[in-house]
Amino acid sequence: MKTRWFWIAGLFFALAGALACDGGTGGNDGGPGDGDGGDGDGDGDGDGDGDGDGDGDGDCVDAPAGGGGFDTHVLRFESTGGDVKASLRRVFDTIGVGESAIYTGDTLRVDVGGACAAMFEDDITYENTHHNWNDIATGDTDGDRYSLSMTFFPPTWSYTLETGPVDGAPTATYDNLIVTGGPVLCHACPGYVPVLVSELMTDNESTLDDGTGAYPPWLELSNVGGDNIDLTGWGLSDDPADPMKWTFTGGTIAQGAALVLFAGPDHNDGILPAFDLDGDWIRLTMPDGTSVGERSVDGGAPADQSLQIDLATGAYVVNPAPTPGTLSLD
């Protein structure tokens, strides 16, 4: 049953985060880590092998990736205006003292002004800290250093990118970055988002009536967090470059509940203006810009079958037995 699965999943991740935060003593004692696996379904994958400077030609930052799991986190960070981007791929290595997690840094990529500034592959320094509350990923190349820090000062996270010479003080600091991509349903990760686009149907021939006898496309939002969520100011989009394409004007999702929204005009009064499901992507963004990122829905599903988020990979998979509004992933 869908509701039971979600609460079990939520309980698992909450316990995993709690165990990770129950770290003992000792240095390099990592923290909360219920991560994700697999490659993402976004745009902006880099080309280039090895370490060092980017070629300056286009966006090389990794796309967001992954869902519930433990092996790999792919996190994307952006400045408010989007002129600075960084992506970090960190991989779970081992359990540390007090059941915390130790990560190794796999990839660090940086874009500045729409151009690839640096790409570090498999050769970055990752500093684990107790509870992962001040982890730092660093890459050095040709005398230059790029450092990405993730700091948790309860109850908020902050993210900063610094660049400068290896043997000197930073010459540029980009703070107040926002997480715009990351694993799905990772309670203890930077950029946790409590509401998911859990299911959608682009070819609704007979599955769900909108109340007027019509069968428009629909999507389902699920609140897997610990509180009721006011959707005012959230954004829905099918365009990775325009995360607030359709902005919610109201509506609340109760804790553990699901909300079905119909595409097209004359629906969702007081919640979301008319939207469509004609694009290749879907993205849900919090009012402050935080998001798990765009996910591919390219290809859709056969008539009266849905696409449902797979928490193991963070990707959408075909579901032959849709369950709109019932908060289930099985």
The H or E element containing residue 20 is: helix 2-21
176 plus 206 within the same structural domain: no
Position 162 scores a pLDDT of 97
Q: Looking at the structure, do residues 15 and 158 belong to the same domain, yes or no?
A: yes
Q: What is the pTM of this model?
A: 0.81
- For CA atoms 207, 212, 216, 217, give the dihedral sign: negative
Domain count, the chain: 2
Q: Is residue 96 part of a domain?
A: yes
Same domain, residue pair 256 and 208: yes
Local confidence pLDDT in tens for the 330 residues of the chain = 444 333 333 433 333 333 333 333 333 333 333 333 333 333 333 333 444 554 444 579 988 877 655 678 899 999 998 899 999 999 888 877 766 778 899 999 999 998 999 999 878 999 998 888 899 999 998 899 999 999 998 888 999 999 999 999 999 999 999 999 998 888 878 889 999 999 999 999 999 999 999 999 999 999 998 899 999 999 999 999 899 999 999 999 999 999 999 999 888 989 998 999 999 999 999 999 999 999 999 989 999 999 999 988 889 999 999 999 987 755
Q: What angle do CA 159, 6, 191 make, to 5 degrees?
A: 5
Identify whether residues 206 and 138 lie together within a single domain.
Answer: no
| Residue 246: φ, ψ to 5° | -120, 120
Domain membership flag for residue 330? no
As a whole number of angstroms, the distance between CA 208 and CA 201 comes to 10
Domain of residue 295, CATH code? 2.60.40
The half-sphere exposure of 202 on its side-chain side, counting CA atoms within 13 A, is 18
Beta strands in 191-273 (DSSP E): 195-201, 218-223, 229-230, 235-237, 246-247, 252-253, 258-262
Go through the chain and tell me how many residues it has.
Answer: 330
